[in-house]
Amino acid sequence: METEMRLAEERRLLCETGRRMVETGLVLGTAGNISVRRDDMVAVSPGGVALDELTPEDCPVLDMSGEVVEGARPPSSETPMHLAVYGTGAARAIVHTHSSYAVVVSATMTELPPVHYNALLLGGVVRVAPYATYGTPELAAHVSAALEGRQAALMQNHGAVAVGPDLSEALAGARLLEWLCQVYVQAKMIGEPRVLTEEELVAVIGRALSGRDTGTRWGLTSSPPPA
């Protein structure tokens, strides 16, 4: 009698999310990685496999110490970062990309300022985590700190990371972050972008909380602007 695969649905969703990341241009080749947590286990994309070619069996399952409990393929080299983020916050899904505009901003800025009020969906100003070699405890610590109180962060000269309660919202956050980076970069080509003030951002939050805005744009499950 066959044993049921652990985190079967989560591993299926990893494959679906990987295909969406490639389709929307957030990753190329084997770049980027994704994971999802359930209880004290984490399903993560494997290293060295293109995200649009994943099968559920490809995706290893780990415990919170990083030990593989099921799966033949080695987990992504960025697994220490994923585990560190899960250990310091409420995230249940993580999407890490090497998207073009995110890398451009991460290589030139110490933070992404709010040039559009949709930055509030990610927590406001997007921090840039200091550079460290991929897969190291140093990078894991930098990213965890940059994500404090935020739904996304940039990684200096590297890429972006977005978190959420599930893979759908983490992916939506990654797409929104790439759009915000694109807006900023293209605005810089014309002139110096105007940054929204704290007062203006507070007014946006107040309008949302007052119930005058009954749309769904204040939830990451809604479609972000096109990347």
| Active-site amino acid positions | 78
User: Residue 95: which of 24, 34, 14, 15 has the closest Cα?
Assistant: 34
Residues 48-51: contacts with CB within 8 Å, 24+ apart? 48/74, 49/73, 50/22, 51/17, 51/18, 51/19, 51/21, 51/22, 51/27
Question: Euclidean distance between the first and final Cα of the chain, in Å?
Answer: 46
Nearest to 184 by CA among 128, 133, 109, 72: 109
Rounded Cα distance, 181 and 112, in Å: 7
Q: What order of strands is seen across the sheet that includes strand 93-97?
A: 68-70, 61-63, 41-44, 33-38, 93-97, 159-164, 152-155, 126-129, 111-112
